[in-house]
Structure 1
Amino acid sequence: MDWLGLHFLPATSVSGRMLLECSHNPLLILLAYAVACAASFATLDIAERVGHVEHRNARLRWRALGALCLAVGIWAMHFISMLSFQAPLEMHYDLPITVASLAIALVSGMVAMEALSHAELNVAQYLFAAICIGLGITAMHYVGMSAMRSSAVQYYEPVRFAGSVVVAIASSLAALVLAIHLRQGSGLFHQLIKYGASLVLGAGIVSTHFMGMWALHLMVPDGTQMQMASTENSLQLSLTIALIVLLIIAGSVSAALADKKLQAKERDLHRVNALLSQLDQARVSLQQVAHYDALTNLINRRGFNQIFAERLMEQQLADGMLAVMFLDVDHFKRINDSLGHDAGDELLKVIAERIRGATRAHDVVARFGGDEFCILIALHNIEEARHMAQRVMAKMKDPIALAGRRMVMSTSIGISVFPHDGTTCEELLKNADLALYQSKGNGRNTLHFFNEGLKTKASLELHLEEQLRSALVEEQGLQVFYQPIVDLRTGHVAKLEALVRWQHPVHGLLTPDRFITIAENNGLIAELDNWVLRRACQDLAQLCDSGFEKLVIAVNCSALNLAREELVQEMDVALKAAGVAPQRLELEVTENALMGNISNTVLLLNDIRKLGVALSIDDFGTGYSSLAYLKRLPLDTVKIDRSFILDIPKYPQDMEIVQAIIVMAHTLHLKVVTEGVETPAQLEFLSEYGCDYVQGYLFSKPAPLEALRPLVKQLNQRKPSELWPSTHLLETVEMTGTTPGTSGKSQRASHAHGDRFRARPQR
């Protein structure tokens, strides 16, 4: 039976003799197995390379090299195995057919590498590729067998023939599975597994050949003379082929290893480049964070200082001018407190855009934090800075839609100019800040240029702050003066208002308007308040010992101190330490301080009332004047500000206002004190309209307690009909109220500028 040119043994015997004296050279069999194992290892290694190569052309080159290694390895194994075959016949091989078998092996190798170029294969793809490769190997084997020329005829036993095909397909399937699964991994263990797989695959390839040889039967015609052919040429040819093929495989494996190392270095280089790129991005991000404000995308203080130094050096070399503008948004805190910080952030973004829109492209705009901005511009003359500031202020006044509201913001600006106001960045920034402080102090929504007087004032305030801190620690220089508060019903002194003074070693006696703001701005106000409170309680104890058991002392409380929860405890400690009744003490707070946080204020005032301390609202009429809030506060007394008394009886409107306040206070069951009474006409008017208490220079200026004792005793001995002060009494007051180094004129001026120790609104 013949099939595809192959002769298969029929069921009945054929004519001729079957050769049984055939054998194989063991050395060549081992050589063929070594070549098969080397080809298997090369295929696995190159398949690993194919799986890791990214470029298409490189993948094609590696696939071609892998196909070549696999083809020549299998073909060499087959040819060496054929040369190991020994039979008593003269044999040779047909060269064209041998080359054709090599071509078939190359096709099988290309199919194998095509399958291995895929990352994953499903079961059907595995089987299809294994069948194609196995059939190619089988075809290569039997075509190579047909190249053998001798007097014998080749017959194949069908079952064994089929077995060789199955072995070829199974070996191909095993090779595909191992090659794909061994592509990932590294290290010694992975390499050992690859070596073991190469031995198994080599055995499978050799098994395919010898299954085919087992199926072969050589039939020689009767009468054919038998002779054993020489094996020397076969051995030399086998060794030559093996050497050539092994060199090809070794070169391919070496190339794969070199490429693997090169690719690893390339990956390392890519990783290094990626890390460098990430570092560059991180550096840019850090630079962005370090030099730019995240909210407004303007330059921050650090970035501004760097650019400022560069611009300043340029202008110094060019003999040019620079202006530094400090901007502060007026009353920005109200936005955060009322609408929340998110709304405040949105407002800052809008403000930043408006400032940027009012400046030129080459101007530098920065946000220093909070609501503080700074502009740096180059100038030809100082008026350019003024015009720029005015443009910014005009831009700011455009309505802003925020949180469903339309609001208009304003800004205060301070300006310093190089080289007139300084030659260094620090000096110019400091001077611009001083000019800004002046703008805020002069009513806000204004601009001011720096002048030397501001530096002098700032230096003086710094010096006063240091000395005030020292005076509080050492309790030296600070004094408490008192001013009588007269009861209009009896004509007697019912209360004394405690007023702090500072006997400065250089500047003489300082009134509160010189140092209260300094104390408030530097965190000293609570300590100063507490010192006055303790001293007033001690003086109350002395008054009790002197026979003034009913006299009350009124102590002023700063708005900042009123927000402290410790205030109640401090008052309790001061009263107990002096051993005086709480009813002898009255706390005076300004109207604006009370309205700052009405809910917390009511709770704090109730706690103070529980101690037994009376409460008085000071400067009434100059602040919010909200009756809705006023009726909620646990007050005892309302003190009318002197600004309403000053022009009485000259202006009837002031008289009507005072009269209305008195009626309103009495309706709320509150006592009324009017301060600033300086003329008998004012006293007569207040007495006529029911004012309860009066206070002012008509009776006495503020004076130390020891100087006031005779005056208080004298006033308290009078009858109500003798209320009007006599000329003699006023002269007595002048003598007792004047302190060394302070004239009566300066005392009156100090009262006009806020002679009492009271809270002042922060600027």
Structure 2
Amino acid sequence: MDWLHLRFTSELPPGGQLILQAAHSPWLVLLACAVACAAAYAALEMVERARRCQRPGTRNLWCWMGALSLAGGIWSAHFITMLAYQTQVAVRYDLPATLASLLYAFFPALLALHLLAGKPLDGRRCALAALCFGLGVTAMHYGGLSAMHSGAASYLQPWLLALSIVLSVACCFAAFLLEQRALQGGTERHWPRKGAAALLLGLAIVAMHLVGTAALTLALPMGSALQMQGAANAAQLALIVGCVTLLSIGAGLWAAWGDRPQEHKAREQLQVSSLIDQLDLARASLQQVAQFDSLTELFNRQGLDEALSEMMQAHRQRGTPLAVMFLDIDHFKRINDSLGHAAGDELLRVLAERVHGVLRDNDVLARFGGDEFCVVASLNDNEEARHLAQRLLQRIKEPVVLAGRSIVMTSSIGISLFPKDGESCEELLKHADLALYQSKGSGRNNAQFFSTPLKTKASFELQLEEELRGALQRDQGLLLYYQPILDLGNGQVSKLEALVRWQHPQHGLLTPERFIGIAEANGFIAELDAWVLRRACRDLRLLDETGYPQLRVAVNCSALNLGRTELLQEVGEALADGGVEAQRLELEVTENALMGNINRAAGLLQQIRELGVSLSIDDFGTGYSSLAYLKRLPLDTLKIDRSFIQDVPTSRQDMEIIQAVIGMAHTLHLKVVAEGVETAQQLAFLHEHGCDYLQGYLLSQPLPLAQLLEFLRQHTGGAEALPLLSNCR
């Protein structure tokens, strides 16, 4: 088989003689190796330049320059090795075929470098590049051999030809893998790996040429004269070709190295630009976080402040009103407690969409956190705010399907108007919040407008809160009054109910109704209850020393205190501080407070009961009046609320209820105290139906400790108490 004047055979043709003596000049072979390695290094350097370029045109330019350097180096190395080839027959080279062989190397080299310059540079790209370049080197070599003409016939050994191809592709693959490691590795390993890759690639090119030349067999007709000869002035030609090629490769490297500072500067500029872009993104992200709520993607408080300021400025110039509305979802905590926080979040998103659907494009909606939203709406007149609030209330009340259940939620709305209720963002928001508080206090599911009395009341309560905290911390102004409780069995005062009072420097003596709610709302009711406990136990000790060791004292306990495990310790410390027996202390809790958390309260009250402290249920009949909790709780006394006593004997229904409660309590082995007894008829009725104790103005109003001592001295022994009962017998 013939290809480009080359014949493939493993045997000598008939009638021909083998040219056995052929050799290579070692110096020229070394020169060819130097040229090939330099060309390989230059090509890899330009591949690196191409990989770092951002513009496609510059990247292509570096690939073309690299391909020209590499193809020129291969072609020069091939030319030098052929000049180094010495055989026994005269050899000449066909110039067009020799020049055409350069193209055999250029296009595969260009394709290989494009593959190496692409991203990502992985094993697959390296393999494809090695296959392209290895076959190109092979094609270039054998194309160059076809340009060699002599009187001998040229034959190729197939197995050596195949070996040269495999050797070329394998060595190229190994060299490209080294280049991949060099590009991906650190700075300290970059240059050694690149140098090793260039050396391996250059040696692969020369080795492939040598193996390919070894595959060549020249045959002459029998009897031809043989004489070892090489090309005329081969050394000079090879040296000139090698120097010119090295100079051209050096020029390419100089251009690549000279481009490094510019590339470094461009890379720094790119990094700076990238950092600026990242900072812009980070700034935008921070602004998003700072001004928007992550759950509903609405404005948060900061975003609303900016939007409200802009809208106020615009409405101030136009002279039109503006409404600020606070919306609070009624009893939202029940959703989180029963269905979970995920369901609660979903409900907030649904309600936010509903509220947003009611508003106009120029209105603003924000979420302040939790279940509180704020609407800023442009108005034509103030009455328009009321209509908008009603539409919001109706839209929110529509059923929501949540966790497979249909949920109906309501909301409370507080409204302030600009400029009527304030000229600043802070004023409008504060006044809308006060109106919202009024809306909740009015039964929820309604809208309330801000009014001046609301501000006066809020200011007064704030002042009272500050002064009450100070009075509690300094232990000044707080007093205990005691209301006697009469034992209807023996006519003696056997118990006292401790009632806290506050002697205010401006407002005079304040009853608990004026300040207990303030203490509960502002988180220091526990300190106030603890103060009452300690003072009651100390006064009880004083009564003991004065001659009344039989007296017991009942102290009210706030509903919020029943959820605190510290209450048990505070009761023990008050008893120890006062030096009184636990049996002389009675703790009163209201019915509604117990039902707020019956399971937790039952355990805590049982621990207090184990100290020896008696327990009383206050205001019985005003709440659930459930026999279930009366059975579960460790109670000693049941107090009938004054609302059932005040209409005796005119209300038959109240009288029947009192009889039933007394009978039920005695069945459960509980003592009964009737509160608010003011008339002899009420006393007679209670005594007749077996009530154990009475408490009210008929006996005495609450008294400070000094007046209580005088009262007790007058009634000791039953001198005054028994006449109260004389008409009942």
Q: Which interval holds the TM-score relative to the shorter structure?
A: 0.7 to 0.9
Distance 1:713 1:197 in 2: 118
Aligned positions of 1:209-248 closer than 5 A:
231=233, 241-242=241-242, 245-246=245-246, 248=248
Partner secondary structure for residue 624 of structure 2 = coil
Tell me which residue corresponds to 2:330: 330
- SS of the equivalent of 1:572 reads helix
Match of 1:107 in 2: 104
Quote the offset at 1:354 in angstroms. Answer: 3.1
Match among 158, 166, 180 for residue 176 of structure 2: 180
Superposed displacement of residue 435, structure 1:
1.8
Larger Rg: 1
Per-residue deviation, 1:592: 0.9
> CA–CA distance in 2 between the matches of 1:513 and 1:645?
21
Are 1:484 and 1:700, in contact at CA under 8 Å, matched by a contact in 2?
yes
State the match for 1:650 in structure 2: 650
Note the alpha carbon deviations across 1:603-659, whole angstroms, 9 max, x for none: 222222222222111111111221211221111211111122223333332222222
1:420-569 superposed matches below 5 A? 420-569=420-569
Shift of 1:218: 11
Q: CA deviation at 1:555?
A: 1.3
| Paired residue secondary structure (1:550) | coil
Other-structure match for 1:676: 676
Deviations 1:330-383 (A, max 9, x none): 233333344443443333333333333333332222221222221111222221
Deviation, 1:569, is 2.6
Structure-2 residue corresponding to 1:752: none
What is aligned with 2:197? 194
Residue number in structure 2 paired with 1:582 = 582
Alpha-carbon distance between aligned partners in 1 of 2:320 and 2:66, rounded to the nearest angstrom:
75
Residue type of the alignment partner of 1:293:
D
**Letter of the 2:610 counterpart:** K
Deviates more, 1:589-598 or 1:234-243: 234-243
Give the Cα separation in 2 of the matches to 1:462 and 1:2: 110
Distance in 2 between the 1:127 and 1:677 partners?
109
Aligned counterparts of 2:227 and 2:491: Cα–Cα separation in 1: 166
Q: How far does the alpha carbon of each residue in 1:699-757 deviate from its partner, in whole angstroms, 9 at most, with x for none?
A: 2221212213343344442487621699xxxxxxxxxxxxxxxxxxxxxxxxxxxxxxx
Q: Which secondary structure does the structure 2 equivalent of 1:631 belong to?
A: helix
CA separation of 1:168 and 1:54: change in aligned 2, threshold 3 A: farther
Residue 602 of structure 2 corresponds to residue 602 of structure 1: yes
Aligned match of 2:95: 98
- Letter of the 1:546 counterpart: T
Tell me the alpha carbon deviations over residues 685-711 of structure 1, each in whole angstroms, 9 at most, x when there is no partner: 323333222221222221212213343
- Whether 1:143 aligns to 2:132 is no
What amino acid is the match of 1:107?
Y
Distance 1:673-1:210 versus aligned 2 partners, 3 A rule: closer
Check 1:115–1:671 CA distance in 2 against 1; reply closer, same or farther (3 A cut).
Answer: same
**Separation in structure 2 between the aligned mates of residue 578 and residue 301 of structure 1, nearest angstrom:** 50
TM-score by length of 1: 0.79
What secondary structure, in the 3-state scheme, does the structure 2 residue paired with 1:655 have?
helix
2:312 is the counterpart of 1:312: yes
CA distance, structure 2, for counterparts of residue 226 and residue 610 of structure 1 = 124
Corresponding position of 1:742: none
Q: Distance in 2 between matches of 1:607 and 1:225?
A: 123
- 1:49-448 mapped onto 2 (5 Å cutoff): 68-79=68-79, 97-111=94-108, 117=115, 120=123, 133=136, 136-146=139-149, 153-154=151-152, 165=161, 168-169=164-165, 172-173=168-169, 175-184=171-180, 185-186=182-183, 187-197=190-200, 200-201=203-204, 203-204=206-207, 207=210, 231=233, 241-242=241-242, 245-246=245-246, 248-250=248-250, 280-448=280-448
Supply the distance in 2 between the matched residues of 1:26 and 1:591 (Cα, whole angstroms).
113
Q: How far apart are the structure 2 equivalents of 1:235 and 1:460?
A: 112
TM-aligned CA deviation for residue 419 of structure 1: 1.6
Change (3 A) 1:162 1:526: closer
Change (3 A) 1:47 1:583: closer
Q: Which letter maps to 2:97?
A: A
* Aligned AA (1:709): L
Contact 1:414 1:448 (C-alpha < 8 Å) held by counterparts:
yes
More deviation, 427-436/261-270: 261-270
Q: What is the aligned-residue RMSD (CA, Å)?
A: 4.5
Query: What is the deviation of 1:480?
Result: 1.0
Q: Which runs of 5+ in 1 are unaligned?
A: 727-763
> 2:186 is matched with which residue?
none
Q: How many Å apart are 1:317 and its aligned residue?
A: 3.3
Cα distance in structure 1, aligned partners of 2:169 and 2:343: 70
Cα 1:265–1:544, aligned 2, differ >3 Å: closer, same or farther?
A: same
Aligned to 2:187: none
Q: Structure 1 stretch 470-479 or stretch 399-408: which is displaced more?
A: 399-408
- Distance in 2 between the 1:532 and 1:228 partners? 123
Aligned AA (2:684): E
Give the whole-Å Cα distance in 1 for the aligned partners of 2:125 and 2:561. 82
Q: How does 1:615-654 map to 2 (within 5 A)?
A: 615-654=615-654
Query: In the aligned structure 1, how far is the partner of 2:441 from the partner of 2:700?
Result: 32
| 319 and 490 in structure 1: CA distance in 2 versus 1, 3 angstrom threshold | same
Maintained 8 Å contact 1:483/1:702: yes
Letter in structure 2 aligned against 1:139: Y
| Aligned residue type for 2:191 | L
Distance 1:643 1:261, change over 3 A: same
Count of residues paired in the alignment: 710
Tell me if the contact between 2:83 and 2:230 (Cα under 8 Å) persists in the aligned partners.
Answer: no
Q: Percent identity?
A: 51
Letter in 2 for 1:672: V
Q: CA 1:660 to 1:192, structure 2 compared with 1: closer, same or farther past 3 Å?
A: same
Conserved? CA contact 1:133–1:169, under 8 Å: no
Task: Please identify, of 245-254 and 538-547, the stretch whose mean Cα deviation from structure 2 is larger.
Answer: 245-254
Q: What does the per-residue CA deviation read over 1:230-287, in whole Å, with 9 as the maximum and x for residues that have no partner?
A: 85xx777666655554455445556666789988888877777666665555444443
C-alpha displacement of 1:511: 0.9
Q: Is the 8 A contact 1:501 1:512 kept in 2?
A: yes
Q: What CA distance in whole angstroms lies between the structure 1 residues aligned with 2:348 and 2:130? A: 70
Change (3 A) 1:659 1:114: same
1:424-449 residue CA offsets vs partner (Å, 9 max, x unmatched): 21222112222222222233333222
CA distance in 2, matches of 1:449, 1:336: 29
Q: Letter of the aligned partner of 2:177 in structure 1? A: H
Q: Secondary structure at the match of 1:413?
A: strand
DSSP-derived class of the 2:294 partner: coil
Structure 2, unpaired ranges of 5+: 117-121, 184-189
Is the alpha carbon distance of 1:711 and 1:198 closer, same or farther for their aligned partners in structure 2, counting shifts above 3 Å? closer
The one-letter amino acid of 1:647's match is D
TM-score when normalising by structure 2: 0.83
Distance 1:289 1:276 in 2: 20
Contact 1:135 1:165 in 2 (8 A): no
Equivalent pair of 1:551/1:584 in contact (CA under 8 Å): yes
